[in-house]
Every structure is written in C-alpha cells, then in structure tokens.
Amino acid sequence: MGKVKIFDTTLRDGEQSPGINLNHKEKLDIAFQLERLGVDIIEAGFPASSQGDFQSVKDIATQIKNSSVTGLARSKQEDIDACWEALKQSAEPRIHVFLATSPIHMQYKLKLTPEQVVERAVESVKYAAKKFPHVQFSAEDASRSDWAFLAKIIEATIDAGASVINLPDTVGYGMPKEISELFEYMTKNVPNIDRAILSTHNHDDLGMGVANSLAAIQGGARQVECTINGIGERAGNASLEEIAVGLHIRSDFYKTGTNIQLNELKRTSALVSRYTSMPIPKNKAVVGSNAFAHESGIHQDGMLKHKETYEIITPELVGATSSNPLGKHSGRHAFQEKMKELGFKGSTEELNQLFQSFKTLADKKKTVTEDDLYALMIDQGDDEQVQTYTLQALQVSYGTNQTPTATIKLIKSGEEEMTEASTGSGSVEAIYNTLAKLTDYEYRLTDYRIQSITEGEDSLAEVHVKLSKEEQSQSGRGVAHDVLEASAKAYLHAVNRMLNEKKRKKEPSTVG
C-alpha cells in the first residue's frame, strides 16, 4: 500500500482556533519543528488573507527544504496569484484550492448551481496548474455532498490538472463507516482516479476526527490532513500524533505507515501548546502527561511483571523521556549541544542570552529538563517584535491582614523609566492594576491560566493570559521561577503584542 502522506495544517487551520494569533517568528519555529518531525506537506497559511500571512508563507516556503510547503486559495485568480508569489521560490511549489460542493453550501453560501460550481472549480484548477506543478483541489463539505455530483467534479478537476483530491468532513458530521464508504465509492466510480491521490481532512465536532481519518485510509485515502494536538476550528481537527502513532502501533491492521519521526512528537506538541497558549489535557492520547501513568494497583503490578500488560506505547517512542538533563555544573558546550538537539536556530548572541538564563535557573533548580529549556527559548522573546514595555523590577507586599500592594518599574521603548504602585484584592490583581496604570490602557483580562513546567516545588511557572480592548484581543505568556513575576511578564507580553498589531494595521500593505 505504500506510506500515507501527512499534510499538516497547524499553521493554517490550526491557527483558526479561537484565541490563537501566532506571529511571524512563532510560525517559523513551528515550521522548522514540523520539518524535523518529518511532515510531508506543511500548509503554511492563506496568503491572500493578509500581508502578514503572505509574508509568513513566503518565508517558510523559502527556508523549509525537506517538507513541501503549500498555501490555501479560494477558487479565485487573485488568491491563486497570491499563492504563487508566496510559494514560487519553494523547493516544491504546491497550492491547495477549495470550493464547496454540498447542497447547503452551494445554495446559501455560494449561490451557484451545481453546474456553475463545476465550471468554477475547473477554471480555477486549470489556472493554478499553469503555475504550480502540484495542485490540490478540496471539495469543501464533501461529507454532506451528493456522491454522484462529487464523482463528477472530481473527474473534471483531475482532467483540469489536479493531482490531489481532498474530501473533507468540514463540520465533523461523518461517521467512520460513512467516510470509508465515501472513499471506496470515489475509488470505484471516478474513471481517472488513478491519476490523483485521495486526501482526507476531518474535524472533531462529534469526536470522530481521528477515527474518520483512519477509516478514510481504509477506504483508499493516501494523504491525511491533521494538526498538532488536534487544534483547529470549533472542536478542532484530527490529531497528527494520534494518527501517526495509531498507524505505527497497528501496522499489522492498516498495513501502512508514515514518514513521521515519532520521537519528535512530544517536543512538537509542547512547542505548539506553548505558542498557542492551549494547554494539553493530562489525559490526551500519546502526548498527555498521564498518557504513561499507571495509578491502579492492578495496573502497577502488571507493569512491574511485564510492561506490555498495560503499556502499548512506550514514552521513548514519542520522545516523552528526557535524556541527559542539565544542571548548574553543565558547561557552555553541553548546553549548546542540547540546544542544537532541540532544534534551536537562533544567533550566537541569542544562544549566549539563553545560556545566561539557563545558568540563573540552574542555580535555583537541581535539574533543568528539556521542558524547562523549551520554556526559556519561548520566553526569550520575539525577534521581530518591538518591546514597548520591559519589566525592570517588581515588588509585592502581601499579608493576611493587609491589602496586597504591587510596586513595578518598567522601561518604555528602551529608555524611559516608569514606576507605579497599586493595590488589589489579591497579589495578581494588584500587579495587573499597576501595569494597567503604567501602560496607559484599561485592558480587560478575559483569561488567566497558570501551570508548572515540570513537577516539584522548584518548577518554573508558566502563565498564559488574554487581554481585550474594544475590538482587539491578544494572548500573552510569561515564564519565571516566581508565579507573580511570570504573571507580570505574561501581561506585558500581551500588551506589547497588542501594540505591535495595532501599529501593523495602520501601515499600508499589499498582498502579492
């Protein structure tokens, strides 16, 4: 049967999750890690949607060499042109063109007849094929489309130049048996289907994303579209890590596999989780912190006698174990090698800054884990982001019978020193009231989450916040050994991102 291609859409469909807003550096970091993971195709974004998305897709396409990079386009010439300008310098240019095919979408969204939809799809694919060596056509809402009509539009778009046909379950409506039969039907009823690869893209609205993806493979799909941690619109997409490990563990059943480097799954999952501010549930399959934990006495007894009694996936398989942890006696060379192993691609200056942060942390922690190092990498800041406000000093006064008071000193735009104090009903509220005064804005805190990076009382604290002001909202994160310092850093990170986004929107820009 050959291997199934993995089409990762974390940077496009995944970023459409409510509350996620990745910046340029974060997208590049994720793309590099996806390349290390062994993803066949990276959908880097929707170039026609904004200048920022266009530039991110272009930069990813020119820097990624071992994965094919693609961009999304509506069935419009201007979208296809924007994709070409963003992707023409990539190692293997490809485009993903879509058009809805279900009766409800054609009638209410497109306001086109089925014949007009076929005509537009064919025109778009023909136009794209003049530029791109690889054209993928997606029949949006395929799972609720008429199968005979689908077969007709698939045949026509393959004749027009499509080499990949995607049949997405756009709203997570399908059941595994239906999805498998859909792919079997197309394999048997589209005369020229041998000239294209069938792809599947499943949402998780009914919790069937992974099951439907595996069912599609049984039905003839040879490409699976998915995201890291299953992030995406509404309830999300099918989870890449679950599909890849499922195909590996049950290769006896599916008779196929992927090119995914499974030992990179845990790192990739952690990176995406931190950048998106979406924590991984402890009971998440494959990458959750409880995925390899055994509480029951019966289970523990079985594990001690023979691991395979209750463990079908080992932590080592997905990279969930940390080798060669660092400590305060670790030197620069050991640190540099570990950072290289983790995929760090920053400058020498950035590496030196990270090393100093590591030494400071190592003085407080007995052992510094990979998770700690990832947190330091992410906390180092965004290389292209202007840091309007930088935390210089923080002091919090708190007692059982006194009102919490926070005194904070900030550096504004690298020069001006600002100091302010304020109270609150709690220490965090006192900090945020003070920061609100210093930053001249009354931001509304809509989300606040705190978690430890690792276990133990000496763990780093990681805080995620979301601030809103009028029509604008932005997430922020902060990492520190002290939870109050991490809280202050998260707030300022969100404020700085908000100000940068506001500045970018004022600047005139053109796509393409």
Which residues line the annotated binding site for Mn(2+)? 13, 201, 203, 237
CA-CA distance, 458 to 500, in Å (whole number)? 34
Dihedral over alpha carbons 456, 458, 464, 467 (to 10 degrees) = 140
Contacts 24+ apart (CB under 8 A), 58-63: 58/85, 58/86, 58/87, 58/89, 59/24, 59/28, 60/11, 60/27, 60/28, 60/31, 61/86, 61/87, 61/89, 61/90, 61/93, 62/89, 62/90, 63/28, 63/31, 63/32
Are 34 and 261 in contact by the 8 Å Cβ rule? The answer is no
In angstroms, the CA 9 to CA 31 distance is 10
What span, in angstroms and rounded, lies between the C-alpha atoms of 436 and 232? Answer: 32
**Alpha carbon separation from 25 to 346, 470, 506 (Å, rounded):** 11, 26, 21
- Using CA atoms, how far residue 168 sits from 138, 154, 244, 428, in Å, is 7, 13, 19, 45
Q: Which is nearest to 75 in space by CA: 14, 125, 17?
A: 125
Q: Are 387 and 356 in contact (CB under 8 A)?
A: no
Of 262, 269, 301, 299, nearest to 287 by C-alpha is: 269
Give Cα 112 to chain centroid, integer Å.
Answer: 34
Cβ burial of 61 (10 Å; 0-12, 13-18, 19+) is buried
Q: Check the CA dihedral 19-233-380-326 and report its sign.
A: positive
Binding residues: 13, 201, 203, 237
* Strand ranges across the sheet with 402-412: 389-399, 402-412, 416-423
